[in-house]
Every structure is written in structure tokens, then in C-alpha cells.
């Protein structure tokens, strides 16, 4: 016996029967009792997949508290917990930092917990004005629904973009209309940012209807599924990459991205101009935006001098990876500086360690040449050759041979 048979026998529509079987509201008590009575008489049971896909919204209430050290809010939460303990509605309390976005946090928890309602203690008005009407993608990963369409929602991540390919479409086409409605009603109730159909496949009418119900964006692409997912992941990793802005100058020397740090007035920009005159490229001057894409950083600069007009378009570049950090410091008598470079020093940016060198500055030094040598030496180290180690080994062999004589 199918849902269609149950609808025919009861005299109610498929939608009404589906809502009753999935224990959803907006059904009269008379209709509910009639449908359940016929289902019991005929021994009707939802199939295993549909049973797993039953939509049950929890009766919990969510409270989002902005600020972890607010005594007023702490007292209010304690009182609310006392009041809710006398009801059948469990209370979920979530504390966030002052700088966090309470709207995005609420959307995430609503997708995961499906509470009856949300209360905010402390909020920023602009978040409510700007964030409730937008599609927010906060996860740089893309998935295919796969087993979720069959009712397996363990380890389901509602914040990802989902892509339907040939396998998913073929599976959905074998199902009846009411089964597709049940599947999409549960899957899209998590309100994922977007559902994309690859290879030009048309989304089914049930999908579009349920997507409209939950305000989920449904898109279509002519690209192959694997290519589409790869392109999305690359774009999202770049767009959502952690970033920070540092004071300095970024140049590309012999293909090596070199970030020059130092106090104001020490000569960073002058060194960069000299390097550009010697045929190298300027990426950013004064303010450098650093993005952590993977284990390396990509840079984009906020230019202060118009190098493109002065030296031509070949003298500038939008992005490069950071391969070396040069710290320019004033020369101080008596200070111990590493002249051999036996041990590689590192500077950490956004959790990634980048090789670094410290260059003491004195009047008359040709810094452009020094940075060229430092860049080439760093490239040799990455290729497995360390001149300092080889020099030390040769010196050790020389003195050992002299001692033997």
C-alpha cells in the first residue's frame, strides 16, 4: 500500500496525508484521525527511508547570550532556566563573544537543533539588518547529498553547499512524487546555503516547491559534477581564507615572494623601488593583505605609489605567495647577529611558519643586492641546498686534515 492509496481511500490530498504521517502541523484533528485510522486498518507503514526522513521539530528554546562576562545577562539566564524547568521545553543556552555575529550563530544552531524559538540577550542591530536577508556561506567545503537522500543524516553538515550529479538525479527519478517530497522536505529543512544541480539537470517540481518553502536557493550548472565541485572548493577557500593586514612591502624577487618588515622610515619603500628598477616586481607597498589559502599565504597589496605608471605594467603584480620574510632593523654596536645562517628562523603569520632573516641596516649598504642574494639563497634551501652547511662542512674537513698532518 502506498501513500497514493491512502490518500484515495481517505479522500484527502497527498500533501495532507504526508503531513499527518510525518506528524506535521496545519492539519485538522478530524483529518488526522481519519487518515491514521485508515492507515492502521490497512496496516500501512512508511518505508524505511521515509521513516528516517520524518521531520520532527524539537520543542527546545534557544537563548543566545552575547558576552561571557555580563552579570546582568547571567542573572537573566539563571531566572529563565528556573522558569523553563517547570515546562516541557528544554532550554539551550549558547554564549558567544562580543565580536561574534549572533545572527549567523542563530542560523547555524537553528539548522542543527531546530528549536521552537530563539531569544537574544545582547545584540548588534546592523547584524539583524544586514544578515537575515543574505545567503551565508561560511564553510569552504562542498558535498554531494548521496546517502542523505536515503535518510542517513549522521555527520550531516548543513552549512555546506550541496551538489547533485548523475547518481543523485538517477536515484530521485526512481522514486515516486510523494517520496521525493518527503526526502526534500527533510533534506532542505536544514536550510543549506544552496543546492546545485550539475550537468544541466532540471530540479524536480517537488524540489523547487520544498526549496521555496524553506527559502533555499536552487541553482543549475552545465559543468560536470567533479569540475564544478573542484572550482567551487578553490573559490571558497580563497574567498573565505583567514586574512590579516600587515605594515610592510611585498616584492617578488626572482620568483620568490619577499615580505619586507621594519619600522617606518627605515627604507622599505626605497629598497622596493630600487628592486623594481632592477627588473623585479612590486606586489604591495605600505599595507599588505595576507590571506591563508593553505599552508602558504597569498597576498594582495594596497598600493601607495603608482609603480605601474612609473615603470610599466610589467613592474607590478596582484598576487604572490610569501616565501621569505626580511626583517630590517637598525644596526646596534655590540648586538649579536647571525652571520652564517646555520639555523633557519621562522616568523608565524596566521598559524603558518615562513622562513625569515634579519638584516641590520647601516648607511651606504646596497640593500637591493642583499635582498636579491637572500631570495636566491632561500630558493636554494627549498631545493635542498644549504650554502652555510656546506661551508661549515668544508671548513671542518680542512681543519681535520690539517690536524691529521
Query: Does residue 380 carry a pLDDT above 50?
Result: yes
Looking at residue 128, its pLDDT comes to: 66
Least confident of 47-51, 104-108, 227-231: 47-51
Q: What percent of the chain has pLDDT over 70?
A: 83
CATH number of 243-390: 3.40.50.300
Which range (195-199, 226-230, 292-296) has the least confidence? 292-296
CA distances from 327 to 248, 249, 254, 289 (A): 10, 11, 19, 18
Alpha-carbon distance 404 to 119, whole Å?
83
Virtual torsion, Cα 10, 12, 14, 15, nearest 10 deg: -130
Query: For the segment 310-369, what is each residue's pLDDT rounded down to a tens digit?
Result: 667 777 777 888 889 999 988 888 777 776 666 788 888 888 888 998 888 887 778 889
Q: Check residues 342 and 46 and name the one with the higher pLDDT.
A: 342
Other CB atoms within 10 A of residue 161 CB: 22
Greatest mean pLDDT among 53-67, 215-229, 364-378? 215-229
Place of cell 565541485: 229
Q: Where in the chain is the domain with CATH 3.40.50.300?
A: 243-390
Domain 142-238, CATH class in plain words: alpha beta
pLDDT at 196: 95
Confidence of residue 56 (pLDDT cuts 50, 70, 90): very low
Q: Which of 186 and 69 is assigned the larger pLDDT? A: 186
Cell of 12: 484527502
Whether the predicted pLDDT of 48 surpasses 50: no
Residue 305 or 377, more confident: 377
Range 2-20 average pLDDT: 70
Candidates 230, 248, 250, 249; CA nearest to 238 is 230
This prediction's pTM: 0.53
pLDDT tens per residue, range 144-158: 998 888 888 888 888
Higher pLDDT, residue 304 or 262: 262
CATH of the domain spanning 61-131, picked from 1.10.8, 2.60.220, 3.40.50, 3.40.720: 3.40.50
pLDDT at 130: 60
pLDDT band at residue 133 using 50, 70 and 90 as cut-offs: low
Residue 200: what pLDDT? 93
| Across 211-220, 234-243, 331-340, least confident range | 331-340
Round the average pLDDT of the chain to a whole number and report it: 81
Instruction: Write down the pLDDT at residue 77.
Output: 84
Predicted local confidence at residue 53, as pLDDT: 40
Indicate whether 297 pLDDT > 60. Answer: no
**Start-end of CATH 1.10.260.40 domains in the chain:** 3-45
Above 60 in pLDDT, residue 299?
A: no
Q: How far is CA 146 from the centre of its chain?
A: 22
Judged against a pLDDT cut of 70, whether residue 122 lies above it is answered with yes
Report the CATH number of the 3-45 domain. Answer: 1.10.260.40
Q: How do residues 25-40 score in pLDDT, each as one tens digit?
A: 667 888 888 888 888 8
Task: Look at residues 231, 68, 113, 106 and name the one whose alpha carbon lies nearest to residue 163.
Answer: 231
Residue 284: band (very low, low, confident or very high) from pLDDT cuts 50, 70, 90: confident
Catalytic residues: 247, 268, 286, 339
Residue 256 pLDDT exceeds 80: yes
Q: Give the pLDDT band of residue 223 (cuts 50, 70, 90).
A: very high
Q: Quick one: pLDDT at residue 296?
A: 52
At residue 304, does pLDDT exceed 50?
A: no
d(CA 257, CA 297): 10
The pLDDT value recorded for residue 198 is: 95
- pLDDT of 68 reads 67
Q: Give 340-355 pLDDT, tens digit per residue.
A: 666 788 888 888 888 9
Q: pLDDT at position 3, please?
A: 62
Amino acid at each position: 500500500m502506498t501513500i497514493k492509496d491512502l490518500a484515495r481511500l481517505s479522500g484527502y490530498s497527498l500533501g495532507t496525508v504526508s503531513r499527518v504521517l510525518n506528524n506535521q502541523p496545519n492539519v485538522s484533528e478530524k483529518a488526522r484521525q481519519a487518515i491514521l485510522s485508515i492507515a492502521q486498518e490497512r496496516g500501512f507503514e512508511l518505508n524505511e527511508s521515509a521513516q528516517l526522513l520524518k521531520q520532527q521539530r524539537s520543542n527546545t528554546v534557544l537563548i543566545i547570550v552575547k558576552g561571557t562576562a555580563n552579570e546582568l545577562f547571567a542573572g537573566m539566564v539563571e531566572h529563565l532556566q528556573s522558569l523553563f524547568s517547570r515546562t516541557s521545553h528544554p532550554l539551550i543556552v549558547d554564549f558567544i563573544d562580543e565580536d561574534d555575529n549572533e545572527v549567523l550563530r542563530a542560523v547555524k544552531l537553528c539548522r542543527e537543533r531546530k528549536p521552537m524559538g530563539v531569544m537574544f540577550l545582547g545584540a548588534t542591530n546592523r547584524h539583524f539588518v544586514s544578515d537575515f536577508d543574505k545567503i551565508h556561506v561560511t564553510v569552504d567545503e562542498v558535498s554531494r547529498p548521496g546517502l542523505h537522500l536515503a535518510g542517513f543524516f549522521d555527520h550531516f553538515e548543513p552549512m555546506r553547499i550541496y551538489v547533485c550529479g548523475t547518481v543523485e538525479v538517477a536515484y530521485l527519478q526512481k522514486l515516486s512524487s510523494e517520496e521525493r517530497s518527503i526526502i526534500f522536505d527533510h533534506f532542505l529543512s536544514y536550510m543549506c546555503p544552496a543546492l546545485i544541480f550539475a550537468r544541466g539537470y532540471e530540479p524536480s517540481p517537488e524540489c523547487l516547491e520544498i526549496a521555496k518553502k524553506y527559502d533555499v536557493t536552487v541553482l543549475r550548472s552545465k559543468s560536470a559534477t567533479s569540475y564544478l565541485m573542484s572550482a567551487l572548493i578553490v573559490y571558497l577557500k580563497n574567498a573565505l581564507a583567514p586574512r590579516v593586514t600587515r605594515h610592510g612591502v611585498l616584492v617578488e624577487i626572482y620568483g620568490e615572494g619577499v615580505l619586507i618588515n621594519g619600522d617606518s622610515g627605515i627604507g622599505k619603500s626605497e629598497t622596493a623601488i630600487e628592486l623594481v628598477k632592477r627588473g623585479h616586481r612590486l606586489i604591495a607597498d605600505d599595507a599588505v593583505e595576507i590571506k591563508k589559502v593553505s599552508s602558504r599565504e597569498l597576498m594582495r597589496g594596497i598600493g601607495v605609489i603608482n609603480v605601474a605608471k612609473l615603470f610599466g605594467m610589467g613592474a607590478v603584480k596582484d598576487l604572490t605567495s610569501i616565501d621569505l620574510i626580511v626583517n630590517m632593523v637598525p644596526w646596534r654596536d655590540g648586538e649579536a647577529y647571525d652571520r652564517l645562517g646555520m639555523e633557519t628562523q621562522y616568523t608565524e603569520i596566521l598559524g603558518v611558519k615562513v622562513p625569515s632573516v634579519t638584516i641590520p641596516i647601516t648607511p651606504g649598504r646596497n640593500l637591493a643586492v642583499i635582498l636579491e642574494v637572500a631570495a636566491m639563497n632561500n630558493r636554494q634551501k627549498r631545493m635542498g641546498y644549504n650554502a652555510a652547511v656546506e661551508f661549515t662542512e668544508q671548513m671542518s674537513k680542512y681543519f681535520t686534515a690539517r690536524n691529521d698532518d
